[in-house]
Structure 1
Amino acid sequence: MTLPNISAYFCSNCQQECSTNDYPVKTSSASAPPDWLIDQIKVFVGNSLITLPSDWSTSWRTHIQNSYVAIDVVRESMLVEKYTQQATMSGVDLLSNVGGQTGLWIGISFLSLVEVAEMIYRLIRYQYHFFYDAHRKETPIETIHEQN
């Protein structure tokens, strides 16, 4: 995944589906090679065509410990952590949330319009009664009977 040409070749269409495995390298302070393996290394070196030092027969243990490196590969833990991403909202949830919010705000707007219409109705009614009462006070009752 770190080399761009390998990533482009193998994962060009699947960036979300690819996974990576990290294997951390840790060193330890154990002696290398371990004591139980030294005798097997002596037999292997004795049977091979490796050039041996002149004092091999007396100090072979020291030569093996100074010249050979052991690598032990062990797993750190049996637990495997897997991180996955999932959408918390589906398309249906998104549509229902948008519809619910829209309905809420349209409902609030409709209520506001009804309240404004009611206020205008009350103002017109008040003005009507105010002018009607004022007109009635100006016209005497006898004048009203004569007109009828």
Structure 2
Amino acid sequence: MRFTRSALAAGALAALSVGATTALAAPASAAPGTTPQKVCGSGYQTVNSAPVGTLGTVYLTYNSANGRNCVTTIRSTPGTAVDMSTWIYVPETDQADQDYGSYTSYAGPAYAYGKGHCVDWGGSIDNVYVQISGSNCGSLKEHRVTFTR
């Protein structure tokens, strides 16, 4: 099933809104210095990232051995648990994964097979949301949106 960008954006924003208000998952714990590779696992290399305001960064990683992408949102300064999310969507294959809850350090990992496909991904920390669509598509230009609620 293929979605238009506006339908995808609406769905992603709805998922982030639900994640930000639900916050039912157990807190993740990580030592300061957590990296996307520590969250996603060995073999994953960072291929893209986006700041989540000044609160942290959402990372897109890729494992060339298995063709899977992993997304994680990592706070700049771990502390008291706050609402966080991370998500990935591959429009051409309709694969999606997400993680949301109240976390002290990071949200994720979220995985999807993405070899040879554009990916949409993002995350949130507290009330700051980031959404990247049409990412890692060779010569196509990605679209980034950051907003607060």
Q: Answer yes or no: same fold by TM over 0.5.
A: no
- Bigger strand share: 2
Q: What is the TM-score normalised by the length of structure 1?
A: 0.18
Based on CA coordinates, which of the two structures has the bigger radius of gyration?
Answer: 1
**Quick one: higher RCO (CA 8 Å, sep 6+), 1 or 2?**
2
Q: What is the TM-score normalised by the length of structure 2?
A: 0.18
- Bigger helix share: 1
